[in-house]
Amino acid sequence: MKILLADDEKTIAVTLGDALRGAGYTVTVVSDGEQALKAAQDDPFDCLITDIRMPKVDGLTLLRRVKELQPSCKVVLITAYASVEAAVAAIKDGAEDYVQKPFFNDDVIARLRKLERILDLEQENRRLKEELAGRHQFGSIIGKSPKMQAVYDLVASVSQSEVNVLVEGESGTGKELVAEAIHFNSPRRGRPLVKMSCSVFPESLIEDELFGHVKGAFTDARSDKSGRFERAHTGTIFIDDIDDLHPLPQVKLLRVLQEREFERIGIVELVKIDVRIVVATKKDLWDLVQNNLFREDLFHRLNVVKVRIPPLRERREDIPLLASHFIEKNGRGKGFAVTPEVLEALQGYSWPGNVRELEHAIERAIALAGNDLVLKKEHLLRPLNMPGTDVSPTGKLSSLRETVAECEARHIKSVLAYTQGHRGETARILGITRKNLWEKMKEYGIEGPP
């Protein structure tokens, strides 16, 4: 830090100045408030240390003038016992701290170390905000890593066309945000964007949700109902979790892709539509095709352009930027921050729930922060011993199947602990259905709350 030291007591000016230089700081020493004000007008300083009682311009006036000239400059006041009340009042005017005479130089240096950390956090926060305001934000998609730059470029390119888009990525990576970016950067931006997730509805309702029905088509059909495709006419439809789409709706969806027409349930009259189709999958659709779980002809119709969103563990350099964004989004205007050491810990974690998990972690840490503006590591990263790539030796040689099963069971237990036994959230983080989770818990003998 560059420090301006203003004190008319020569002993303090010399000894404290030498101690600050010995601690690695760049120090300018002046003997009165007028000289200090001139120095602040000529040069930027990170910190001003000033006595309250000084000739020509007193320390409190100097505080206010320097804050006007250099708002980010930190101010530490030196005060005698009789002026403590004035020093406390000066805190309200923007001073960061005060030391009372007589003092130890080491105590002043310790206080400066804290201010130095705050300055580092403020500079990092400014840098991240500048990045958020620049090229690294595409709508609500945030990231500056090369992999995210490739996503931006592909989204910008494909948005201007009418081709079908397949968005691929793990749960929590932001597939819906990509679909929104494609729509709102396309010529259809002023038209409807209709969304639907195939994982939300049972097989019996998927067709009805997509294509609608007429009155009397089935027992509870008391009136006509338009489906999602019809409501998306002239706009874009986004179908999430297409990997959960059952075989019968797959057939009807293929016809829509080929003919741009469909029939409501209960009537043979065709409904013509003009719609752009964007779908998303959390699984490799080609693997599903190979296992006869997804139609190959439908896959090729959907996979005209594929946008793959990398998981957070593949773009760890984006974590500081994302953390800053979520702090600003959820911080209610307060200046919450994360220390460099904690940011490093965040970057070292695997984030199985991806960006969504990081946002939830920031929300939790803010909720638990109380009056502390520096978010704590234990609130951001729960001590769950989440498994990484290392496997503890078992003392015996196991088959690959046994080893994989052991790691899988351990990971399921860890995520269950993370979600405090919430099976729906656990299944979402793991990228499987609740039914799959229940089967695996039964297979591995994992106990947990219902």
Residue 335's CATH number = 1.10.8.60
pLDDT digits (tens), the chain, 450 positions: 899 999 888 888 899 999 999 988 999 999 888 999 999 998 889 999 998 888 888 888 888 898 888 888 999 988 876 566 776 777 777 888 888 888 889 989 998 988 888 888 877 777 666 555 444 446 678 888 999 999 999 998 999 999 999 999 998 999 999 999 999 889 998 888 999 999 888 877 888 888 888 888 777 777 888 889 999 999 999 999 999 998 888 998 999 999 898 888 888 788 899 999 999 999 999 999 999 999 999 999 999 999 999 999 999 999 999 999 899 888 888 889 898 889 999 998 889 999 999 999 999 999 888 888 899 888 898 654 444 433 333 444 556 777 788 888 888 888 888 777 888 878 888 888 888 888 888 888 887 654
- Return d(Cα 93, Cα 108) in angstroms, integer: 21
Question: Taking the alpha carbons of 345, 348, 349, 352 in that order, is the dihedral positive or negative?
Answer: positive
Contact partners, residue 227, CB within 8 Å, separation at least 6: 208, 209, 210, 211, 212, 213, 262, 264
Task: Supply the pLDDT for residue 205.
Answer: 84
Q: Are residues 183 and 282 in the same domain?
A: yes
Tell me if 376 is assigned to some domain.
yes
Q: Are residues 178 and 213 in the same domain?
A: yes
Longest Cα–Cα distance in the chain = 98
Partners of residue 271 on adjacent β-strands: 262
Task: Supply the pLDDT for residue 130.
Answer: 57
Kind of pairing between the strands at 97-100 and 74-79: parallel
Q: Are residues 300 and 367 in the same domain?
A: no
Supply the range of the domain harboring residue 270. 143-308
Tell me if 267 is assigned to some domain.
yes
Could you tell me the CATH number of the domain that includes residue 14?
Answer: 3.40.50.2300
Q: Are residues 17 and 90 in the same domain?
A: yes
Could you tell me the CATH number of the domain that includes residue 167?
Answer: 3.40.50.300
Kind of pairing between the strands at 236-240 and 276-281: parallel
Task: Supply the pLDDT for residue 179.
Answer: 93
Partners of residue 279 on adjacent β-strands: 166, 239
Q: Are residues 73 and 7 in the same domain?
A: yes
Q: Are residues 108 and 39 in the same domain?
A: yes
Q: Are residues 341 and 373 in the same domain?
A: yes
Tell me if 284 is assigned to some domain.
yes
Task: Supply the pLDDT for residue 132.
Answer: 53
Task: Supply the pLDDT for residue 122.
Answer: 79
Tell me if 138 is assigned to some domain.
no
Partners of residue 165 on adjacent β-strands: 278, 305
- Return d(Cα 192, Cα 181) in angstroms, integer: 13
Tell me if 51 is assigned to some domain.
yes
Choose the final residue of a domain: 286, 308, 330.
308
Q: Is 153 exposed, middle or buried (0-12, 13-18, 19+ CB in 10 A)?
A: exposed
The DSSP string of 129-169 is HHHHHTTTEETTEE--SHHHHHHHHHHHHHHTS---EEEE-
Tell me if 425 is assigned to some domain.
yes
Q: Are residues 191 and 331 in the same domain?
A: no
- Is the pTM value of this prediction over 0.85? no
Tell me if 137 is assigned to some domain.
no
Task: Supply the pLDDT for residue 439.
Answer: 85
Return the percent helix, strand and coil in the chain, to nearest 5: 50, 15, 35
Contact partners, residue 177, CB within 8 Å, separation at least 6: 139, 140, 141
Q: Are residues 11 and 108 in the same domain?
A: yes
Tell me if 136 is assigned to some domain.
no
Contact partners, residue 278, CB within 8 Å, separation at least 6: 164, 165, 167, 179, 182, 183, 236, 237, 238, 239
Residue with tokens 């320390």: 59
φ/ψ of 429, rounded to 5, equals -65, -40
Q: Are residues 207 and 291 in the same domain?
A: yes
Task: Supply the pLDDT for residue 84.
Answer: 66
Q: Are residues 255 and 379 in the same domain?
A: no
Choose the final residue of a domain: 106, 131, 156.
131
Could you tell me the CATH number of the domain that includes residue 411?
Answer: 1.10.10.60
- Return d(Cα 346, Cα 340) in angstroms, integer: 10
Choose the final residue of a domain: 383, 414, 438.
383
Task: Supply the pLDDT for residue 295.
Answer: 94
Task: Supply the pLDDT for residue 127.
Answer: 65
Total domains present in the chain: 4
Q: Are residues 53 and 102 in the same domain?
A: yes
